[in-house]
Amino acid sequence: MLETIGYLAGFLTTLAFVPQVMHIYKTKSAKDVSLAMFLLFTVGVLMWLTYGVMTNSFPVVAANAVTLLLSLTILFFKFKYRNPNGI
């Protein structure tokens, strides 16, 4: 039960970035998405990944590897579709 909640929590907080990637891809706009947020988030996820590897925790490694890819995709889009009037 407890483990299921942990896995479901990790699944949801990872899955959440998929609609954000799709949203930016469809609208070709990412001006309201904060660059600082995704820079800090990507570094944080990279550290979670390191933590997972060092503690041999497969769920932490798996969830954060996927989140890292999605977070890097959003950063890529942020630069690709940057708006000169955006922040």
Find the shortest distance in angstroms from Cβ 57 to its own copies: 10
Annotate each residue in 1-40 with x if it binds its own copies (CB under 8 A) or - if it does not, as one string: -x--xx-xxxxxxxxxxxxx-xxx-xx-xxxxxx-xxx-x
Question: 55-59: which pairs have CB atoms within 8 A and are 24 or more residues apart?
Answer: 59/6, 59/7, 59/10
Q: Which residues lie below 8 Å from residue 14, measured CB to CB, with a gap of 6+?
A: 63, 64, 66, 67, 70
Number of residues that bind its own copies (CB under 8 A): 42
Find the shortest distance in angstroms from Cβ 9 to its own copies: 4
Q: Which of 43, 59, 69, 82: binder of its own copies (CB under 8 A)? A: 43
- Residue matched to tokens 């949203």: 23
Q: Catalog residues that contact its own copies under the rule CB under 8 A.
A: 2, 5-6, 8-20, 22-24, 26-27, 29-34, 36-38, 40-41, 43-45, 47-48, 50-51, 54-55, 87
